[in-house]
A = this chain, B = another copy of it.
């Protein structure tokens, strides 16, 4: 019998979540049934979008159920198999979430070929956050030659990839992040203009960084960053609305965004997107990423918490911006 600790959603947060919304539960797993495998997770991911799933509202994915393990991406190793398609020791990726180990049908996990990359990269740079950056920039914002690109949350899991993909494509990139460490990291990535929004208001800083305006805004933050982008946008600017972390814990309709009238006169296009809608780009993304990684053109950072018991803390740190790059929880 295998023992596994899981993190359950105990209560739905109102406003900013706290540790009390979560509960650690120990379960014992029987041997996997016919067609099943047993997986020990080595890494799991916490992502800002999970905040939305903690609310009991209709959205693009159903809400997390109370009293059940939080769902989400994880990578691990098969430790018992009752299916010919997977054997003990195989690495697999799954979406069963915040748990140390689980049983599942073999078809419900994906065998992982790491191609020499660290396994946890498949939860970040070469995984969903990487594809989010790729699809948002290249398809949603329809990046084209000469575009000046502004990215908020630029030192986060998605933002760090947006910055680098835009640089690889030859663009002037303005990245905003909070704090000196993140700003230094962005400079090291070759970001042309770095805004530390904790050190100066983003609006005037953006106007200084892009006196002739911006063409593309990749929004991870919302609020003041979005206002600044509206004011700085050039005609026919395109905004890929990926997330608005500044608003996720609002208990009402959130903060108002001023300056939307700019969208009329400047004929801006603001488009929200969810990465799963662009799953068809996975092949092109993997191919490009393999080339960029091999050529040393892409790097990434991770912030790691250890142990499933620290998964809620890791999640909460997303909202105080304590992660540099991808926030991950190492489980084994």
A-side residues, CB < 8 A to B, are 52, 59-60, 222, 226-227, 231, 235, 241-244, 247-248, 250, 252-274, 277
Contact of A260 among B248, B257, B266 (CB under 8 A): B257
Cβ distance A315 to chain B, nearest Cβ, rounded Å = 19
Oligomeric state, in number of copies? 2
Report yes or no: B277 in contact with A272, Cβ–Cβ below 8 A: no
Taking the closest CB of chain B, its distance from the CB of A310, in whole angstroms, is 28
Nearest chain B CB to A133 CB, angstrom units = 15
Looking at chain A's contact residues, the main secondary structure is: loop
On whether the beta carbons of B273 and A267 are closer than 8 Å, the reply is yes
Interface core residue of A235, A261, A274 (most chain B CB under 10 Å): A261
Q: Which residues of B contact A248 (CB under 8 A)?
A: 261
Q: Is the Cβ of B258 less than 8 Å from the Cβ of A254? A: yes
| B257 close to A266 (CB less than 8 A) | no
Report how far A320 CA is from B267 CA in the complex, Å: 26
Q: Are A255 and B258 in contact (CB-based, < 8 A)?
A: yes
- In the assembled complex, the CB of A261 is this many whole angstroms from the nearest CB of chain B, namely 5
A262-B250 Cα distance, complex, nearest whole Å? 13
Contact at B270–A247, with CB atoms within 8 Å? no
**Residues of B with C-beta under 8 A to A269:** 269-272
CA distance A149 to B272 in the complex (A): 19
Closest CB of chain B to A125's CB: distance in Å?
22
Which residue of chain B has its CB nearest to the CB of A233? B272
In the bound assembly, the distance between CA atoms of A247 and B252 in angstroms comes to 23
A6 → B minimal CB distance (Å): 26
**Contacts beyond the supplied A60-B265, A256-B258: 4 A-B pairs with Cβ under 8 Å:** A244-B264, A254-B259, A263-B270, A263-B272
Q: How far is the CB of A269 from chain B (nearest CB, A)?
A: 5
Rounded to whole Å, the gap between the CB of A30 and the closest CB of chain B is 37
List of B residues within 8 angstroms of A254 by Cβ: 258-261
* Nearest B residue (CB) for A231: B253
Cα distance A328–B8 in the bound complex, in angstroms: 64
- Pairs A–B under 8 Å by Cβ, sample size 14: A59-B265, A222-B260, A241-B263, A247-B260, A252-B258, A254-B258, A257-B257, A257-B260, A262-B272, A266-B272, A268-B272, A269-B270, A269-B272, A270-B271
